[in-house]
Amino acid sequence: MITDREKERFTDYVNDFYNENYGLYPIASSEEIDEAIEEYFISVEAGEGIEWGGGDSFDRETVRTILDDNYSIFIP
């Protein structure tokens, strides 16, 4: 089970990379990121073949893929 603290840290981490206002790769709004993260957590907790890596880069890149799939965001 993913703790609330882990979710909070991971949300901050993903925003640091992808938030359109301050991220390293500014590709999505805070709302889009939150929705993609929630979709990711639901998939992890449902046991849909996705394993929680503790909020590592694989987890972040999986959220990026969800962002691309859901919002057709161009990712170089």
At 74, is the pLDDT very low, low, confident or very high (cuts 50, 70, 90)?
low
The amino acid occupying position 51 is E
Domain residues of the chain, as ranges? 4-71
CB 10 within 8 A of CB 55: yes
**Does residue 24 surpass a pLDDT of 90?**
yes
Whole-number pLDDT of residue 1: 83
- Terminus-to-terminus CA distance in the chain, angstroms? 33
Q: Alpha-carbon distance 47 to 31, whole Å? A: 25
What pLDDT, in 10s, does the model give residues 47-65? Answer: 888 899 999 999 999 999 9
